[in-house]
Chains A and B, each alone.
Chain A
Amino acid sequence: MPKDQVEILLVEDDVEDLDLTMRALADAHIANRIQIARDGEEALDFLFRRGLHSERAPNCPPRLILLDLKLPKVDGLEVLTQIKNDPSTRAIPVVILTSSRQEQDMVQGYHLGANSYIQKPVDFEQFQSTIRQLGYYWLLVNQQPPERAFD
C-alpha cells in the first residue's frame, strides 16, 4: 500500500452529516487518510484524476467509497454508475450511506453494483456502531482487491 493512499473516499454534501461521520470514524479509530468530496462531480474528479485532482498519482484508488445518494451536480447513483462502468474503479468497494430508505434507491443501488447499502440511523449511538462495523469489515476483515483488479 503506498503511503499516501487514501483509505476512504467520503462523498457527502451535508456539512453536519459530514462532521458526524468524521467524528464517528475518528471514534472508531479506523481511518486516518480520508478524502472528502462534497458533490458527485468532485468525487468523479478525484477518482478519475481530473480537475483539481489531475496531478494525483495513478494506480492509487481509495480502498473504500462511502457514497451519499442525494448530491449536488452529479447525484450518487450516477457517480456509482460511472465507478462501476470503468475498469480502473470497478473493483473499489462502494458502500451507499444515505438517509433514504426508498426501496427504489436500494434496488437501483444494488443493480448498479453497490457493495453495501446502509441507511443512516437517527440514533447517533447506532450510527457510531454502524460506522465502526463498516470500517472494521471493509478495511480490516475484507481482503482488498489485488492491484491487477484495477487494470
Chain B
Amino acid sequence: MQKSWLVSVSAVIILVQACLANADTRISGYGSFVAGKTVSGQYFLSDFPKTGIYDKDWSFSPDTTIGIQLSHDINQDYSFVMQLNAHGARGYESEINWAYINYQLSSELSVQLGRKRLPLYYYSDFFDVGYAYNWIRPPADNYTWQISNYNGINLLYETQLGDWDTTFNIIIGIVGEFNRDWLNIRLTAMSSELDRTINGIQVAENVVQQFNGLSVNINLDSFSLLSEFNGYKRDDDHIDVHTRMLSLAYTVSDITPFISYSEFEQKLTLAGGDEHHSTRSAGIRWDIYHNTALKIQYDRVKDEGISSAILGDSESLAFGIDVVF
C-alpha cells in the first residue's frame, strides 16, 4: 500500500515536472471523495467491476477515486495521453487506465494506439470522472462488465452530418454517437471471442460474445432525461443479459435533483444462473463552484436472483464531492 502511494506520488511529480518543462504538455485531473453506508440490509455493491461494497459502517473506500492526466502534443499530428488512477475499492493502488498515442490523420480522422477504456457503455470512457454526471456513480446494475480497459488500436472519425455532430469509434466493433442540439444518441455493437482460464484450467475458448447498447439522452434547458439499454449474449453457455436505466433530472440554478431506475436481468441459464437486481435512486447535485459539485444520493436495491443472488436487498446513503481541474 505504501509502495503504491510512493509510486503514485513519484509519477505525479514526474508529470508535473514534465508539464512545467514543456508548454505543449497539459495536466488535468479529477477526484471523487465519497462517504456512504447502508441504512438497511447488510451490503450495497456500488461498483461491480472494482467490487466497491458499503456495509453498515461509514466508509470512504467503495466510490472514492482520484486521477491525473497528462497530455502532450509531440508535434502537430501526434499527441500522447496518459491517465493514472487510484480507487478506494482497490486499496488506492495506482493503475494506468489510459496510455496511448494519437495520430491525427485529418481534422476528422484519427487513430489511437495503446491502452484505453473499453467504450462499451455510455459512461465507460469517463466512468471515474464523477463531475461529468449527476449521480455519485453511474447506475451499478448497468456497469457490470468486468473488463474496463483494452490494449490495442482504434480508429476515430468525428464529423458533422447535417446538423448532427457525429462520432464513430471503430474498435472490435463500432460505437456511433450522434448529437443534435438537445438530443444525443449512442449505439454500440461489439463482438469478440472469449478465452477464460480459472486456476490454470481453461473454462472457455474462442467463445463468441456479442454486446449491443443504445443510449438516448435528452437535454432541454433545465430538464434532462438519460437512458441506457444494453444486451449481452454468449450463445455457447446460454448467457443472455439485459440491462436498462432511466434517469430524470431538473436543474434549478446550481441545484439538480434527480431520480433513477436501473435493472440487470439475466435469463435463466442451463447452469441455473438467474441474476436479477434493480436499483431505485434519488439524489441532489449542487454545483458549488465552476469545477466542484456536492452530491447526496439514496439507493434502494432489490435483489431478485434466487440461485445467483448478489448481496441481497439494501438501502444506502452516500455523500460526495467531485472536482475537476
Are A and B bound to each other? no
